[in-house]
Amino acid sequence: MEKREEEESKAPLLEPCRAAEHNATGDGGLGRRLVGENRRLWAVAGPSICTRFSTFGIAVISQAFIGHIGATQLAAYALVSTVLMRFSNGILLGMASALETLCGQSYGAKQYHMMGISLQRSWIILTGCAVLMLPIFVFTEPLLVFIGQDPVISAVAGTISLWYIPVMFACVFSFTLQMYLQAQSKNMIITYLAFVSLGVHLFLSWLLTVRLNLGLDGIMTSMVIAMWIPVFGQLIFVFCGGCPLTWTGFSSVALTDLVPVLRLSLSSGVMLCLELWYNTILVLLTGYMKNAEVALHALSICLNINGWEMMISVGFLSAIGVRVANELGAGNARRAKFAIINVVATSFSIGLVFFIFFLFFRGKLSYIFTTSEEVAAAVASLSPLLAFSILLNSVQPVLSGVAIGAGWQSIVAYVNITTYYLIGIPVGAILGYVFGYHVKGVWVGMLLGTLIQTIVLVFITIRTDWDKQVEVTQERLKRWYITDGNKGKPDSRGSP
């Protein structure tokens, strides 16, 4: 019995049909390996991309309708959505990403009941965090005026920020439920609900603004409803038997050991916050320039177009994170490297197509969001920078996904601080304000930071000894995962 237990403790924890995977991707011709790898890649990336397109579409639809109300309203919406919501979402999504580790750990160790407990702990922690951020949304107008933003734009932004409070609390449940369900490969329910909410938002925005003439209030009402639809849908799915193994009801155990979970949540959010807040600085710096209304209007259009393409790259980020983690956990360094090469090539090819597309069309797409000739001309002037941003963003998020799969979050956090905040932002500020290139100068500086970060991540990925990473991963699995003998018992270390 002891010998058997010793053999089981030495066995890898993840056994995803290795014989079949070996036949599909381990040996054989390049074509067969590509087919097998892309099948696995798109099984994760496809639903992820669709979900992100639908969710991001809610914000873009709102911007499109607001853009036809007035330039001041659109500039205010750009400030709130790009600055305040990006700030809060960076914190909430980053902290919710700890649930990926916790649920993945429990699911891999077959301690399914712990996934529901981890979900409840995340709800407690993220709700508390959202409550602490409430004053920022309540006092948005005086805060923006205090930091030098236009008073007229700040007044409208203060109204929009109050509407965003229920949206923020919807994100608490939406982020955590998505990660809880994805850990069980229940991706399609998330995708279906995201498309339903997108369709509802499009219809309600038209009904409340075009037919009923409710203006800004109508659009924000529609957004609140659309953001809560996936939450209620996922809760019904979970509570009504969609996850019979992992959801066993509410438990008082969720109220214990919150400090270690909080610590993990905070550390998980650092890398993501640094990236999400980068574009926020770009918008804030633009808000201080002359004719800030037109500049913010044009920049928000460009950033939203860039955001659409980013949804593809972020989908690949999720997919390669899963692929690298699975292959390293299964002890397959060769297939991990092949997965990285395949996804980088795929994402870069898609980015190259969009790069050419936006160079060709330049400012013509801006008329979807505005009727102002001045704003359209500003967008056309920024289009080359937009095209280069899209090209860089087709690679950079994928490499961040590789880092997540390999467990390099702390390393990437240091890289982000150096390239973004010590190089990109200072150079952008100097070009924009000292040399008078305005928003173009700020954007060029930000692009420089992203370029250097991408080069560093490419260098790290190429220089990595992936066989050594397999050993590191196996040691990490033994340290973090709970063994079969401890099923149903708390970890003796008192940490998740």
Closest CA to 431 of 440, 421, 419, 420: 440
Residue with tokens 């700890």: 98
What pLDDT sits at residue 131?
A: 93
The domain locations on the chain are: 50-265, 289-483
| Cβ-based neighbours of 240, under 8 Å, separated by 6 or more | none
What pLDDT sits at residue 238?
A: 92
Residue with tokens 């997919």: 319
The Cα–Cα gap between 160 and 77 comes to 7
DSSP state of 367: G
What pLDDT sits at residue 15?
A: 41
The Cα–Cα gap between 449 and 415 comes to 10
DSSP secondary structure string, 257-280? SHHHHHHHHHHHHHHHHHHHHHHH
The Cα–Cα gap between 77 and 295 comes to 13
Helix residue spans in 394-494 (DSSP H): 396-406, 409-416, 425-429, 438-463, 466-480
In the chain the first and final C-alpha atoms are separated, in Å, by: 28
What pLDDT sits at residue 18?
A: 41
Mean pLDDT, contiguous 10-residue spans, the chain (496 residues):
42 40 52 82 78 80 83 83 78 75 60 80 90 91 83 88 92 87 78 90 91 88 93 93 86 77 68 66 64 68 76 80 71 85 91 85 68 74 82 86 74 81 86 80 85 91 87 64 41 38
